[in-house]
Each structure stands twice: as structure tokens, then as C-alpha cells.
Structure 1
Amino acid sequence: MQISGNTIFIPGATSGIGLALALRLQDARNTVIIGGRRTDVLDRLAAEHGFDTVTIDVSDPAPVLSARDAVLAAHPDLNVLIAMAGIMVAEDVTTAGFLDTAERTIDTNVLGPVRLVAAFIEHLQTRPDATIMTVSSGLAHTPRRMTPSYNASKAFIHQFSESIRLQLAGTSVQVIELVPPAVRTELMPGGSQIESFLPLEDYIDETMSLLASQPDATEILVERVKPLRFSEVNGTYAQAIAMVNAH
């Protein structure tokens, strides 16, 4: 992926990593369209930053297709999809009540990105230089005790990314997997205040540097996430589990 000159759609970009990445990609001379569920937030971000916006709820198939049609009508040159939308909710699997959270997590974090890829894949293959960027997590490889469905959803995204990259080999579509560590955002309440988490701006700085220096990358791995990503390979799984679950 080239770092500039793209037209990029980022659903789930109204806060956190998604918004920070949208702002930095816009600064890098890309046209960025952001999506989210709350029109008031989208209107504010459009006024403040000049984004084009579209309302989208990735947990429902119909709004995904409506958003796709709106984005492509306004931006037929769209060549990058960043499937950023996701939720992270704590669960207690010792009681049956965790099922509702698990279902919502899987619907948003697993089916949401799959719906987005399905909606845009035929268009992206018509562009000479296209990218699908998925968003997994270091927790796909080294899980956090309190978020089993989130961990599993990100493991799905990792394998889905690996698999569609194989199928899209030979096409114009590159598949990049963004693999964040714990970053100071409100993905979970209070997460922005945890000092051991990587500051958001530091994460975006390193991510943008990697995107610029590694245009052919399959995974974007900041240094902080590597102990989680490679814990099993390096024989440090038990230590990594202890570190992740110490918070």
C-alpha cells in the first residue's frame, strides 16, 4: 500500500485508533471517508476535519450495503477499505449470561469485517492498486482472560486475513493485517488511563512509519505487539500470558 494518493473508507473511525488513523492518513494526502453509527458524531467530525462521512452499522447487513452504495457513488475511485469496526466487552463464562456479549462481539468483530469485504471486494478488484486492511490484535495470539470472545474474534480475523490474501494473490488487491497491542483508547472503559498501555499517538506514529517503509507488508507489527504475536513461536507463551493478564 502506498502511503498517499488513495481514497480510503474507514468504518468505525469515530474514535480511538480508527479516528487517529483517519486523521493521519488524511494528513498524508489521502481522501478519507469515515463511517459510524452516530450521525451527530459524524457531523461533528466532518465539520472539524473535512471528512466525507457515511452512517453504517456493520452488525446489520442492509446498512453495510447501503453505505457501500453511498461511498462508491460519491467516490468511484475508492481503492482502500480499512475494516476498523469492533467492540471489546468483558465476559464471565462461569454463568450463561455471557452468551449475549459473545453473540454481539462475534456479530460485530467477525461478521462485520466479513460483510465489509463482501460488499467491496468486486469493486476493489477493478482498481489497479487496491488494499484491504483488516484489524486484529495481539490478543489473537496471547489472550486476555477477561475477554474470551474478543480474543477469539481477532484470531478469526488473523486467519481470515491470511486466507483471503492467498485467494487474492494475482489480483490487484493487497491484504494488510493491522495488529495492535494494548493502546490507550476507550475500546474498554478506562483503557485510555492505563499507563502500561501504549499511548495512542505513539502507536499511530509507529504504524504510519511502518506503512510508509513497508509498502508490501502483510502485517503491521509495532514493537510492543511482537511479544504477543510471536509468543508461541518463541516459546514464551506462559510468560506472555502472565504479562497480559497482570492488569
Structure 2
Amino acid sequence: MNITGNTVFIPGATSGIGLALALALRERGNTVIVGGRRTELLEKIAAEHPGVETVRIDTTDADSVQTAAKDVLSRFPSLNVLVTMAGVMRVEDWHSPAFLESAENTITTNVLGPIRLIAAFVEHFQTRPDATIMTVSSGLAFAPLKVTPSYNASKAAMHMLSETLRLQLADTSVRVVELEPPSVQTDLLPGQADNEHAMPLDEFITEVMSLIETQPDAHEIQVERVKFLRYGEARGEYDQVVAALNGADPHGK
């Protein structure tokens, strides 16, 4: 993915990583369209950041995705980058069936949402000389956090989907890039924005932008902090990584 000169649509960019990435891309000379469910947040972003475009979209609603896609393509026919940022993360307890509603919503948002977005834009992207679909997985796609089972599963699904789409679209002008964040100081979970063990948001975005610039052909965007999780199994340290992630003794003591 080139660092500049793109027209980029980022659904799920009204806060956190999505908004910070949108602003960083805008600063590097890209046309950026931010998507989100809440019109008041979109209006605030447009007012505070002149030049950032907005569109209302709810990726859990198939009709909303189709409506937003038509709007974006009619206004920005040069669109060549999609970042499937929209996602949710919830603590769940699977000892009883009370988890089901949360799990269904997580899978709908984190897996079905990106699939709907890709379906809405993939034909258009194949008409562009250089296009990128950036999916968003997580370090938790490779090592599970005990309290977020559906989130872990959804991000593992996004990793394998990204791997497969890259193979299928290899005969087109469309690149598939997977962004793999570690824990970042955002409001994804209550208290995470103040978690001293999470990566500061500005540091994360700075490193991501540097990686995009210096590794334009990379398949996976991995900041250094996520590699502990990403490659634990390859290092033969999977059990130790899972134990450390969940605050347990790796020897079961």
C-alpha cells in the first residue's frame, strides 16, 4: 500500500485507532472518508478536521452497507483503499448461555461486517490500477485472552480470511493487507484507555505509518509489540505466551 495519493474509506473510524489512522493518512496527502453509525460524531469530526469526509454506515446492517457504498462511490469514484476498521470487543462468560447475544453481535460486527464491506467494493477495486483492502485482526487472533472468546475467534477468522483473499485476488490489482494491533490505549474495553500495559495510541499510529511507508508490499502490518503474540507458536512458546497474556503461571503453579 502506498502511503500517499489514495482515496481511503474507513468504516468504524469515529474514535480510537480508526480515527487516529484516518487523521494520519489525511496528513500524508490522502483523501479520507470516515464512516460511522452516530451522525453527531461524524458531524463533530467534519467540523474539527476540515477536509475529512464522512458517511453514515452501520456494518451490522446489510442495507446500510449497500447505501453507504453507493454514496461513497458516487462521491469518490477514485476510491482505492478500504480499511475494515469497525469492530467490538466484549467480556463474556461462557459458563451459562447468557453470552449468546454478545457473541452473536461480535461475530456480526467483526466478521460479517468486513465481509459485507468487501463484497460492496471488490468489483470497483478491480477497476482501479492500484487498490488495497486492509483488514483488521489482532494479536489475539494468535493467542487467546480468556475473557473475550468471541472477539478472539472473530479476529482469527479475519486473519485466515485475509490470507485466503490474498490468494484469490492475486490475479487482480487488489492487494490485501492485514493490520494486527496489540492492546492499544483506546476505549475498546472499559479501562483500556488508561491501561499502562497497553500501547499508547500515538505510538501505535506512528509505527504503523512508518511500516506502511517503508514496507509498501507487506502482507501484515505488525508493530513490534504484537510480535510476542503473533509468533509465540512459531517460537515454540505458545503455552508461555497464553499464560503471560492471562496472568497465569506458565507451569501451572
In the TM superposition, structure 1's runs of 4+ consecutive aligned residues that sit over 6 Å from their partners are none
1:153 aligns to what?
154
Q: Give TM-score, length-normalised by structure 1.
A: 0.99
Q: Give TM-score, length-normalised by structure 2.
A: 0.97
2:11 aligns to what?
11
Q: For 1:14, give the aligned amino acid.
A: T
Q: After superposition, give the CA deviation of every residue in 1:161-217 in whole Å (9 maximum; x if it has no partner).
A: 000000000210000000000000000111001001110000001000000000000
2:126 aligns to what?
125
Q: After superposition, give the CA deviation of every residue in 1:103-129 in whole Å (9 maximum; x if it has no partner).
A: 000000010000000000000100000
**For residues 245 and 182 of structure 2, what CA distance do their matches in structure 1 show?**
10
Offset at residue 246 of structure 1 (A): 2.1
Q: After superposition, give the CA deviation of every residue in 1:120-164 in whole Å (9 maximum; x if it has no partner).
A: 000010000000000000000001000000000000000000000
Offset at residue 243 of structure 1 (A): 1.8
1:67 aligns to what?
68
Q: For 1:73, give the aligned amino acid.
A: S
1:167 aligns to what?
168
The runs of 5 or more residues in structure 1 that have no matched partner are none
1:79 aligns to what?
80
Offset at residue 27 of structure 1 (A): 0.3
Q: For 1:229, give the aligned amino acid.
A: R
**For residues 28 and 242 of structure 1, what CA distance do their matches in structure 2 show?**
40
Q: For 1:35, give the aligned amino acid.
A: G
Matched, 1:25 2:38: no
User: What SS does structure 1 have at the residue aligned with 2:233?
Assistant: helix
The runs of 5 or more residues in structure 2 that have no matched partner are 249-253
User: What SS does structure 2 have at the residue aligned with 1:169?
Assistant: helix
**For residues 246 and 224 of structure 2, what CA distance do their matches in structure 1 show?**
19
User: What SS does structure 2 have at the residue aligned with 1:35?
Assistant: strand
Q: After superposition, give the CA deviation of every residue in 1:12-44 in whole Å (9 maximum; x if it has no partner).
A: 000000000000000000000000000000000
2:251 aligns to what?
none
- Map 1:1-247 to 2 at 5 A: 1-50=1-50, 51-246=52-247
**For residues 134 and 52 of structure 1, what CA distance do their matches in structure 2 show?**
21
Q: For 1:21, give the aligned amino acid.
A: L
Offset at residue 242 of structure 1 (A): 1.6
Equivalent residues, number? 247
